[in-house]
């Protein structure tokens, strides 16, 4: 029988310590194109994902995967209305509420930033996922891109689930239930940027992935990007610790360190009650940690968006937006 055309990609990755190597950008794009077109078997898909998982994806592989995924989506870079900031959310929060959703709301409603947020729920029942927070706040959850465009025109913020963007990618990320491990798709989705927004913000859990994201963004020609170790793996600044942000500005790699906002760490709440998000926004409750997380995350976004000269200026601007959020 003739060898399956996808087999060479698996052989390249799995030929042993001396014989294996990472895929080139072009090979990675070709492999992911075959996967998303349904031209591989489930056995091949599982083998491929886990071989990449064991060695960890290279910047070239990640860039190739993203190119293929964007082509698969078939979305135009001229999406109307133009989106300023792409915000991915695929980790879920376990220790703290997803305060970053309030950061996005603040930037959209008070800062005039058009934000597309996309995500998907995971398999862990002890986590609160982005879509739940968006729903609790009464923000728009969109069924399709027409609804995204309308939501952006109305309020500057739109959320769409991965299952609406790409059932194929949703199927692959859901394989974690069978494989027991995250896969390269988790990394890909954080940088998917489906409608080519000029600014891209992402949070990760493992710090060593920051450089991979940064270099992949340069390979893809992404003009502006920020990635940092976010609380719970989301794009949310942890105000209790120092935050190192790796970024891309005009195709140049940059690094910026943001200082801790508190001398002592806060104790995580025993339960995550989504109603606390609206209560904090409406001034009906106080939460020192939550407020600092909202403002601090918005500050990183403002710096990324080139609206602030340095972290101190960004923090001050975000603070002003927060104080005037109900005006």
Quick one: 166 and 63 in the same domain?
no
List the CATH number of the domain containing 236.
3.40.1030.10
User: Are residues 288 and 264 in contact, defined by beta-carbon separation less than 8 angstroms?
Assistant: no
Quick one: 69 and 165 in the same domain?
no
79: in domain: no
* pTM greater than 0.75: yes
Quick one: 139 and 15 in the same domain?
no
- What is the pLDDT, as a whole number, of residue 18? 87
1: in domain: no
List the CATH number of the domain containing 63.
1.20.970.10
SS3 125: coil
Quick one: 55 and 153 in the same domain?
no
For residue 180, what are its two tokens? 């027991």
What is the number of structural domains in the chain?
A: 2
Query: Which is it for the CA torsion 273, 275, 279, 284, positive or negative?
Result: negative
Quick one: 210 and 69 in the same domain?
no
Quick one: 258 and 303 in the same domain?
yes
Quick one: 165 and 101 in the same domain?
yes
What tens-digit pLDDT sequence spans the chain (327 residues)? 899 999 999 999 999 888 999 999 999 999 999 999 999 999 999 999 999 999 999 999 999 999 999 999 988 667 888 899 999 999 999 999 999 999 999 999 999 999 999 999 877 778 999 999 999 999 999 999 999 999 999 999 999 999 999 999 999 999 999 998 889 999 999 999 999 999 999 999 998 899 999 999 999 999 999 999 999 999 999 999 999 999 999 989 999 999 999 999 999 999 999 999 999 999 999 999 999 999 999 999 999 999 999 999 999 999 999 999 998
Exposure string over 191-206, b if 16+ CB within 10 A, otherwise e: bbbbbbbbbbbbbbee
Domain enclosing residue 270, as ranges: 85-323
Among 48, 73, 98, identify where a domain stops. 73
- What is the pLDDT, as a whole number, of residue 251? 85
CA distances in angstroms from 152 to 79, 125, 285, 302, 308, listed in the order given: 11, 31, 28, 19, 23
80: in domain: no
Among 43, 73, 103, identify where a domain stops. 73
- What is the pLDDT, as a whole number, of residue 182? 87
Cross-strand bridge partners of residue 247: 226, 254
Closest CA to 107 of 308, 325, 327, 286: 325
User: Are residues 185 and 82 in contact, defined by beta-carbon separation less than 8 angstroms?
Assistant: no
2: in domain: no
- Beta carbons within 10 angstroms of residue 207's beta carbon: 12
Cross-strand bridge partners of residue 87: 117, 201
Among 73, 93, 128, identify where a domain stops. 73
Quick one: 124 and 164 in the same domain?
yes
- What is the pLDDT, as a whole number, of residue 77? 65
Quick one: 197 and 258 in the same domain?
yes
Quick one: 15 and 156 in the same domain?
no
What DSSP assignment string belongs to 33-75? HHHHTT-S-HHHHHHHHHHHHHH---HHHHHHHHHHHHHHHT-
Nearest-angstrom CA–CA distance, 278 and 233:
22
């Amino acid at each position: 029988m003739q060898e399956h055309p996808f087999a060479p990609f698996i052989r390249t990755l799995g030929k042993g310590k001396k014989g294996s190597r990472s895929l080139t950008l072009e090979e990675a794009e070709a492999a992911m194109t075959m996967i998303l077109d349904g031209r591989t078997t489930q056995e091949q898909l599982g083998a491929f994902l886990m071989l990449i998982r064991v060695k960890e994806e290279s910047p070239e592989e990640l860039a190739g995967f993203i190119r293929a995924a964007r082509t698969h989506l078939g979305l135009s870079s001229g999406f109307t209305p133009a989106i300023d900031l792409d915000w991915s959310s695929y980790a879920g929060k376990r220790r703290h509420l997803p305060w970053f959703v309030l950061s996005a709301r603040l930037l959209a409603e008070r800062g005039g930033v058009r934000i597309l947020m996309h995500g998907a729920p995971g398999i862990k029942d002890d986590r609160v996922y982005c879509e739940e927070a968006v729903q609790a706040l009464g923000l728009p959850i969109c069924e399709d891109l027409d609804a995204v465009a309308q939501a952006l025109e109305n309020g500057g913020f739109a959320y769409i689930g991965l299952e609406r963007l790409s059932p194929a990618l949703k199927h692959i990320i859901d394989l974690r239930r069978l494989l027991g491990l995250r896969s390269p798709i988790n990394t890909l989705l954080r940088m998917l940027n489906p409608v080519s927004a000029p600014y891209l913000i992402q949070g990760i859990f493992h710090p060593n992935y920051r450089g991979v994201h940064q270099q992949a963004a340069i390979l893809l020609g992404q003009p502006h990007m920020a990635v940092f170790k976010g609380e719970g793996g989301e794009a949310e600044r942890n105000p209790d610790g120092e935050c190192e942000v790796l970024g891309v500005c005009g195709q140049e790699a940059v690094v910026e360190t943001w200082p801790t906002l508190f001398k002592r760490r806060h104790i995580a709440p025993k339960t995550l009650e989504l109603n606390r998000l609206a209560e904090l926004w409406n001034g009906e409750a106080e939460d020192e940690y939550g407020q600092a997380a909202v403002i601090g995350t918005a500050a990183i976004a403002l710096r990324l968006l080139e609206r602030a000269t340095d972290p101190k200026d960004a923090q001050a601007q975000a603070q002003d937006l927060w104080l005037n959020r109900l005006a």
